[in-house]
């Protein structure tokens, strides 16, 4: 590809689907909170870790382009599914740490992919409503090519990209196969914020205990433990806190707890 930087076309980006449906593809894509690296297989994840020079001890991020995909991959209980659906309906970015479904794990290739996309507890962060450019790509990759989309922020580890493609870093820019540019889309999500005040990440909620087991349903009871824990604040955190309070009598706030 002569010029790897392209402007988002407002729809499914065919160049991105072409790259990620092939083996080892890696792109940079805009989201509601900035730019991410997207990959779809073991080779792509290896390239992502090399590009970011990032530790491998954190749960992988799985991008879900539909509620059907989420339910096919992640282990949910009824209350967590309803919680996700509320965010889906409101178009609110949400990521939850969840176990993988055993039948989903069994369908994955036995080539080292599992070790790169989940932590030692067999959990990943399953994300919905992360932004139209990537959502449409993830949905097409899943529906048409039966491939899962994985993500990581597109910037040197520990540094933000400030929601601008110009700040993804030379290393990532050099290694990516394709870079979708949409600075105006990113800034439109938080129009009243500055580069310094804007959120560069989404909210993350842990729905598992320390062993990676799903938290129990509460069924209206109080003082239930273990319970959902908000472990990272981010975009729309106030709306998500309201939804946490509406859906769970017991939940906790521990920003930075996982890390």
Q: Express each pLDDT in 55-77 by its tens digit.
A: 666 668 999 999 999 999 999 99
DSSP secondary structure, 150-161, as one string: EEEESSSTT---
CA distance to 101, 124, 225, per residue, from 203 (Å): 23, 14, 21
Domains within the chain, CATH numbers bracketed: 5-253 (3.90.870.10)
Q: What whole-number distance in Å separates Cα of residue 123 and Cα of residue 126?
A: 9
pLDDT mean over 119-137:
96
Helix axes 237-247, 78-90, angle to 10 degrees: 140
Residue 195's pLDDT is 86
Q: What whole-number distance in Å separates Cα of residue 6 and Cα of residue 143?
A: 24
Kindly report, residue by residue over 195-231, the tens digit of the pLDDT.
Answer: 889 999 999 999 999 999 999 999 999 999 999 999 9
Q: What whole-number distance in Å separates Cα of residue 67 and Cα of residue 79?
A: 14
Q: What whole-number distance in Å separates Cα of residue 17 and Cα of residue 171?
A: 22
Position 2 confidence tier, pLDDT thresholds 50, 70, 90: low
pLDDT mean over 185-199:
94
Helix axes 132-145, 14-21, angle to 10 degrees: 50
Residue 61's pLDDT is 95
pLDDT mean over 84-102:
98
Residue 164's pLDDT is 95
Residue 160's pLDDT is 83
Q: Which single residue is written with the structure tokens 């989940």?
A: 118
Residue 1's pLDDT is 46
Q: What whole-number distance in Å separates Cα of residue 185 and Cα of residue 226?
A: 38
Pair type for strands 204-206 and 178-181: unpaired
Residue 53's pLDDT is 79
Residue 11 tokens, joined: 């729809």
pTM for the full predicted model = 0.95
Strand stretches in the chain, DSSP E: 5-7, 26-31, 34-39, 61-63, 94-99, 123-128, 149-153, 178-181, 204-206, 229-232, 252-253
Distant-in-sequence, close-in-space partners of 191: CB < 8 Å, separation ≥ 6: none
Position 52 confidence tier, pLDDT thresholds 50, 70, 90: confident
252: helix, strand or coil = strand
Angle at CA of residue 224, ends 223 and 225, nearest 5° = 115
Position 238 confidence tier, pLDDT thresholds 50, 70, 90: very high
92: helix, strand or coil = coil
């Amino acid at each position: 590809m002569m010029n790897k930087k392209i402007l988002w076309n407002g729809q499914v980006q065919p160049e991105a689907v072409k790259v990620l449906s092939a083996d080892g593809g890696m792109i940079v894509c805009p989201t509601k909170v900035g730019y991410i690296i997207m990959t779809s297989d073991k080779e792509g994840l290896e390239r992502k870790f090399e590009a970011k020079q990032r530790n491998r001890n954190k749960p992988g991020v799985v991008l879900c382009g539909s509620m059907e995909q989420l339910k096919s991959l992640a282990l949910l209980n009824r209350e967590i599914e309803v919680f996700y659906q509320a965010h889906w309906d409101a178009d609110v970015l949400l990521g939850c740490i969840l176990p993988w479904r055993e039948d989903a794990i069994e369908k994955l290739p036995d080539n080292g992919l599992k070790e790169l996309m989940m932590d030692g507890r067999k959990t990943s962060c399953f994300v919905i409503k992360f932004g139209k450019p990537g959502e449409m790509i993830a949905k097409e990759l899943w529906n048409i090519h039966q491939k899962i989309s994985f993500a990581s922020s597109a910037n040197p580890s520990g540094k933000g990209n400030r929601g601008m493609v110009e700040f993804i870093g030379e290393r990532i820019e050099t290694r990516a196969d394709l870079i979708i540019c949409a600075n105006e889309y990113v800034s439109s999500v938080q129009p009243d914020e500055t580069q310094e005040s804007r959120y560069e990440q989404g909210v993350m909620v842990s729905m598992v205990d320390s062993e990676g087991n799903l938290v129990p349903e509460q069924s209206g009871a109080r003082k239930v433990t273990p319970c959902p824990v908000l472990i990272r604040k981010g975009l729309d955190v106030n709306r998500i806190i309201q939804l946490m309070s509406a859906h769970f009598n017991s939940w906790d706030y521990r920003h930075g707890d996982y890390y």
